[in-house]
Amino acid sequence: MVKHDGGAQQTELELTYGKLRSQAQKITKADGKFQVKTPAGVAGVVGTDFFVSFDNTTGTMNVTVFEGVVKVCNLAGVCVEVKAGQFSNVRTNDNTGPQPPTQATLDVLVSAGSSTDVGGGPGVQNVGHHLGKGTAITLGILAAIPAVVIPIVATHGSSNTTPPVVGCQPPKCG
């Protein structure tokens, strides 16, 4: 922890290696900030739930957002906004900027959430869901698509089937 002033809502963390899960409360002060700095870049938030990891062997900072928006910047000040359910990364000494945000796979979301789950031990408060409402709705829709599309394709996809003979009883049906 580099700096923390609860009254001024100023928090600055430094992550030189490893993983960090943060569930920051909404910043209400005009000059308030919550930042996680790594040797590759900075993740600045305003009331969100996100995951940051930094691997010093590859010089890569990864940011996965569960809820809210995180501004991810390289050390040259080139930034992208990463929204709930998205993922981005930035490498040390990469002046082109962070990678454009992409939809995080379910594996990435689960891995980020479970690798920092503290299990509700002493001092931990309000450890709840790892997915934001929008992300959960999106995942629900994506999960429902095969349940609707596959039966439609299976029942309507082939036009060369012979219709059943009315009044026919097996084994004499043709």
Whole-number pLDDT of residue 169: 59
For residues 154 and 136, what is the distance between their CA atoms, to the nearest angstrom?
A: 28
Whole-number pLDDT of residue 113: 79
For residues 106 and 142, what is the distance between their CA atoms, to the nearest angstrom?
A: 11
The predicted-structure confidence for 98-119, as pLDDT tens digits, reads as follows 999 999 988 888 888 777 665 6
Q: Compute the half-sphere exposure of residue 163: CA atoms within 13 Å on the CB side of its CA.
A: 3
Q: In this structure, are residues 17 and 57 in contact, taking their beta carbons and an 8 Å threshold?
A: no
> Residues 3-12: what's their mean pLDDT?
88
Instruction: Report yes or no on whether pTM surpasses 0.75.
Output: no
For residues 103 and 121, what is the distance between their CA atoms, to the nearest angstrom?
A: 31
Quick check: 162 pLDDT over 60?
A: no
> Residues 29-46: what's their mean pLDDT?
86
Quick check: 159 pLDDT over 60?
A: no
The predicted-structure confidence for 72-101, as pLDDT tens digits, reads as follows 999 999 999 999 999 999 999 888 989 999
Between these two residues, 15 and 121, which has the higher pLDDT value? 15
Whole-number pLDDT of residue 36: 93
Is 3-117 in CATH node 2.60.120.1440?
yes
Whole-number pLDDT of residue 59: 94
Q: In this structure, are residues 20 and 13 in contact, taking their beta carbons and an 8 Å threshold?
A: yes
Which stretch, 16-20, 47-51, 122-126, 142-146, has highest mean pLDDT? Answer: 16-20
